[in-house]
Amino acid sequence: MLKNYFKVAWRNLMKSKVFTVINVLGLTFGVMVCIMIFLYVQDEVSYDRFHKNVNQIYRIDKQQTKDDGSVHNGSYTGYFPGPRFSARIPEIQSFVRFQPEKVDVKTDADIQSQTVSLVDTNFFSVFNFPLLSGDAKSVLTQRNAVVITEDMAKKYFGSSNAVGKIISIKGDGIFKPYVVTGIAKNCPQNSSIKFQFLLPIEVSAEDENKNSNWFNSFLSTFVVLAPGADLKAVQNKMDKVFESDAGEAISEIRNKYGVKNIGISYSLEPLAAIHLGKMVPDEDEILSDKSNPEFSYILSAIALFILLIACINFVNLTVARSVKRAKEIGIRKVIGGTRRQLLLQFLSESFILCFIAFSFALFVTMLLLPVFNQLSNKALSISYLFSIKLITYYAVIFVLTSLLAGLYPAAVLSNYNPVQTLYSRFNLAGKNYLQKTLVIFQFALASFLIIGSITIFSQFNYLTTQSLGYDDSNLITVGKYPITRNEAALFKQALMKNPDIIDVAPKNSGDNNNTVKVSGDTQVNISVGTIDASYLPLLKVPVIAGRNFSADYPSDSTQSV
């Protein structure tokens, strides 16, 4: 019987090819957009969840309350929080410090600037990054050990079989040889922690005993808590350890700099919450690929709206076409067709249309996946489309879409009066409030999306056409880290010998955040950049008061603009 329903449904769809094509295209577009957005959102919420004990791993964040009462949250800590909290708080089972920095890497005569991360030796015991070669427990125990990713192994040594090879990494101004002791798989796309080179972190005996190091912040510290640990209690214990250890150093800072309120406290942020978290501002985030959760919410709502528009369009077209099928329905009822049978007949047509639309949508998604990856800055593969979780999602959306798009038309059509339909007295006019409501709702949703698109386009156009405050034409940035002022000056002289280069202006990497006193006890946070006299003219930044730096005034080295 069910087979017969689908046979008849298929014949009816083939009789009205234009209607079928319009409905299939509408549903295909709606489902395709829905799948793509779900892929994006699913990738966003899956960040860092591949680690085995992700629910026990937390990052130590630092909060600093300023004199004006404002609180500054940061992900940067120093050497001390990990070992000192771990030694005195039993709920903390272990810790790992993660310190990425730009350095020069050399093999033979080739020197390149790369991001090298300094970590504790138990890095691979806490985080589940797969190793292609090497033992997770001992791969970083040697002082001159380095673990590299498979991409770096192929880049520097031509293959992923690079264990035992030597690579030189610059530290403290000189190149030091390191032995490759392990090859790690490339970091997953959905990982907040990304690395290419891992070196064991080294802390001198002097730094380990210098309590003022509590106030140095340049790395991230992760801790593993015991199952069932009370998060609030652990955070309170961390603050007590800090107050006990840093008391003397706090007094020194107050006396030396006249700072009234140190106001430092510590909190724990779940690893799984970092990517979409709001505890730490983007500018104070040491890890990569931080995202705003509101983007995912907005995209999910847009996907739902588009799918609803496609379903409502299907409903309205099907009901509007019902006039042509009125006599067919009347004859079916006269020869004994029940309302249930008619419902199943029309639902069968809905399921067939939705199945075709879903098939096309998946096919088009596979074709457009590379473009989607480029636009969304993702690295999703076709295999990702067919994970168990996504297949379950497809099944749920398919059934819901089929029912949503087919149930109301089926109910309306199966309710026709056979006498009126056979004597051509049937019409769709009347108080069909639901259908009118659907049309209005569809129009409202479409208008909302169109207005939203125009607004986004206008905002994007504004961002791309407004003045930046400086001239960025024909400018390139060359990064070299670390570099001394003398090295920067020599580098500039060498570049200026090239006739194609008009000017060169050195600047420090990033901006250093400092607190300064403006008047009285008022303190203000400022970003400080180190430049030379050619920087502002090169960028054509106007000086509206005073003057630019000048080599004619040696005292300018202690001044600021």
- Asked whether residue 502 falls in the same domain as residue 418, the answer is no
Choice among 122-131, 367-376, 382-391 with the minimum mean pLDDT: 382-391
- Asked whether residue 354 falls in the same domain as residue 326, the answer is yes
In a domain, 402, yes or no: yes
Residue 486, token pair as written in the block: 């003398």
pLDDT bracket for residue 200 (50, 70, 90): very high
The yes-or-no verdict on residue 387 having pLDDT over 90 is no
Give me the amino acid identity at 406: G
What is the DSSP-derived secondary structure letter of residue 55?
Answer: G
Query: Across residues 372-384, what is the average pLDDT?
Result: 83
Q: Which of 548, 453, 537 is nearest to 502 (CA)?
A: 537
> What is the share, in percent, of the chain residues with pLDDT greater than 90?
24
Query: Across residues 90-95, what is the average pLDDT?
Result: 96
CA distance 299 to 33: 10
Render pLDDT for 362-371 as a digit per residue (tens, 0 to 9).
Answer: 899 999 999 9
User: Where a domain ends, among 284, 303, 336?
Assistant: 284
User: Where a domain ends, among 241, 266, 284?
Assistant: 284
Provide the whole-model pTM.
0.76
pLDDT confidence of residue 423: 57
- Asked whether residue 243 falls in the same domain as residue 307, the answer is no
pLDDT confidence of residue 491: 82
pLDDT confidence of residue 121: 94
pLDDT confidence of residue 87: 92
Residues 6+ apart with CB under 8 A from 353: 13, 20, 23, 24, 27, 314, 405
The yes-or-no verdict on residue 349 having pLDDT over 60 is yes
When the pLDDT of each residue in the chain is averaged and rounded to a whole number, the result is 81
In a domain, 480, yes or no: no
- Asked whether residue 30 falls in the same domain as residue 143, the answer is no
Higher pLDDT, 56 or 278: 56
Are the CB atoms for 219 and 169 separated by under 8 Å? Answer: no
- Asked whether residue 149 falls in the same domain as residue 119, the answer is yes
pLDDT bracket for residue 337 (50, 70, 90): low
> What is the share, in percent, of the chain residues with pLDDT greater than 70?
81
Sort strands 220-225 and 92-107 into parallel, antiparallel or unpaired.
antiparallel
Query: Across residues 269-279, what is the average pLDDT?
Result: 88
The yes-or-no verdict on residue 99 having pLDDT over 80 is yes
Higher pLDDT, 85 or 556: 85
CA distance 42 to 40: 6
pLDDT confidence of residue 53: 92
- Asked whether residue 302 falls in the same domain as residue 439, the answer is yes
The count of structural domains within the chain is 3
In a domain, 472, yes or no: no
Distances (CA, A) of 340 to 327, 332, 336, 407, 415: 18, 12, 11, 12, 10
The yes-or-no verdict on residue 522 having pLDDT over 80 is no
pLDDT confidence of residue 270: 94
The yes-or-no verdict on residue 330 having pLDDT over 80 is no
Choice among 279-283, 374-378, 398-402 with the minimum mean pLDDT: 279-283
Query: Across residues 103-125, what is the average pLDDT?
Result: 88
- Asked whether residue 329 falls in the same domain as residue 396, the answer is yes
- Asked whether residue 138 falls in the same domain as residue 237, the answer is yes
The yes-or-no verdict on residue 317 having pLDDT over 80 is no
Most confident of 196-210, 481-495, 517-531: 196-210
Higher pLDDT, 170 or 9: 170
The yes-or-no verdict on residue 141 having pLDDT over 90 is yes
User: Where a domain ends, among 234, 265, 284?
Assistant: 284
DSSP calls for 260-312:
S---EEEEEEEGGGSTT--SS-GGG--SS----HHHHHHHHHHHHHHHHHHHH
- Asked whether residue 429 falls in the same domain as residue 519, the answer is no
Residues 6+ apart with CB under 8 A from 105: 111, 112, 113, 114, 116, 156, 167, 168, 169, 170, 197
What is the DSSP-derived secondary structure letter of residue 468?
Answer: -
Are the CB atoms for 57 and 224 separated by under 8 Å? Answer: yes
CA distance 237 to 268: 12
Q: Which of 277, 126, 279, 143 is nearest to 202 (CA)?
A: 143
pLDDT bracket for residue 299 (50, 70, 90): confident
In a domain, 229, yes or no: yes
pLDDT confidence of residue 278: 78
pLDDT bracket for residue 165 (50, 70, 90): very high
pLDDT confidence of residue 20: 77
In a domain, 98, yes or no: yes
- Work out the burial of residue 284: count CB atoms within 10 Å of its CB; fewer than 13 is exposed, 13-18 middle, 19 or more buried: middle
Phi, psi of 242 (to 5 degrees): -60, -50
- Asked whether residue 318 falls in the same domain as residue 396, the answer is yes
pLDDT confidence of residue 535: 80
Query: Across residues 105-112, what is the average pLDDT?
Result: 82
Render pLDDT for 496-507 as a digit per residue (tens, 0 to 9).
Answer: 888 888 888 888
- Spell out the alpha helix ranges (H) of 466-498: 485-496
Phi, psi of 335 (to 5 degrees): -85, 10
In a domain, 30, yes or no: yes
pLDDT confidence of residue 284: 65
- Asked whether residue 80 falls in the same domain as residue 163, the answer is yes
pLDDT confidence of residue 441: 78
Give the HSE-up count for residue 172: Cα atoms under 13 Å, Cβ half-sphere.
2
CA distance 150 to 102: 19
In a domain, 434, yes or no: yes
- Asked whether residue 267 falls in the same domain as residue 211, the answer is yes
pLDDT confidence of residue 85: 94
pLDDT bracket for residue 69 (50, 70, 90): low
pLDDT confidence of residue 177: 93
Domain that holds residue 324: 2-46+292-461
Sort strands 197-200 and 110-119 into parallel, antiparallel or unpaired.
parallel
pLDDT confidence of residue 322: 62
pLDDT confidence of residue 463: 76
In a domain, 445, yes or no: yes
Most confident of 166-180, 201-215, 386-400: 166-180
pLDDT confidence of residue 261: 64
pLDDT confidence of residue 258: 62
